[in-house]
Amino acid sequence: MFILYFIIGLFATTLGSIAGLGGGVIIKPVLDFFGHYDLSTIGILSAATVFSMATVSLIKMRKMDVKLDKLNSALIAAGSILGGFIGKAVFNYFVISLGISKEMGIFQSILLALLLALIFVYFKYKHAMKRFKIENKAIILSIGFVLGLLSSFLGIGGGPLNVAVLSLLFSMNAKNAACNSIFIIFFSQLSALVLAGVTTNIGDYNLMMLPYMIVGGILGGLIGTSFVHKLTDKQIEKIFNVAILAILFINIYNVFSY
């Protein structure tokens, strides 16, 4: 079990740091698939693992020739923190207050599968679509709010949503979108962990596997970031698309398994 959860953390965050997925979008459906933990515990495991990956990735990126759009990414991150608080509050209301964890699991898997399908289609045909360069600060903040709301509610950290939005609305190439996505994920996962610590009793969760997943997340961040500057935009985009397709099928399976 310890080795399994270490490998999940390592694999998810290695892919996540390379393609900007973060890792939560992989960890959440995979842990759903194994069924060892409830949705709330999975959220804590995922957030802590992805946050550890994002921390080491950002430290390594400082020494790399990577273009971070710090102003716009910071605005998106600020909006996503606020949206994340509301998304988590809505999630807690349904899972904890109403006690409909199973129904929420089904809904999360269906909604995530639909979003992943849309993202996959966008990246497959983006060459034929118009892309934008949004500069209005209020709109950027609002975009971050929606991303944070969805990501927190789904418990995925926002990776694929961030990358798609940064590509479509800010005309970023695959490498820059991936790196800016990690920057946003760092703040969104930090806020998710702070919110969990303030609003819930951490002692109620079974976090026995957390240290092993965090170690996997740290190694995944180190390994993944070391590959980023060696890969071309096309290679990163291909990794992103393959990962999205695999996660999509896992979510479809989870819908039926629920």
Written as tens digits, the pLDDT of the chain (258 aa) is 889 999 999 999 998 888 888 788 889 888 988 888 888 888 889 989 999 998 998 888 877 666 777 788 889 889 988 888 888 888 888 887 787 888 888 888 889 889 999 999 998 888 888 888 898 999 999 999 998 888 888 877 778 888 999 899 988 888 888 888 888 888 888 888 887 788 777 777 888 999 999 999 999 999 988 888 788 888 988 888 998 998 888 888 888 876
Torsion of the alpha carbons at 186, 192, 195 and 196, rounded to the nearest 10 = -130
- Residue 161 CA to its chain's centroid (Å): 8
Torsion of the alpha carbons at 55, 60, 65 and 69, rounded to the nearest 10 = 10
pLDDT score at 66: 66
Burial 101-128 (b: 16+ CB within 10 A, else e): eeebbebbbeebbebbeebbeebeeeee
Q: Which domain holds residue 218?
A: 2-257
Long-range contacts (CB closer than 8 Å, 24 or more residues apart) made by 92-95: 92/40, 92/199, 92/200, 95/39, 95/40
Nearest Cα to 156, choosing from 184, 198, 118, 128?
184
| Rounded Cα distance, 213 and 7, in Å | 8
- The domain total for the chain is 1
Mind listing the pLDDT tens digit for each residue in 37-74? 888 888 889 989 999 998 998 888 877 666 777 788 88
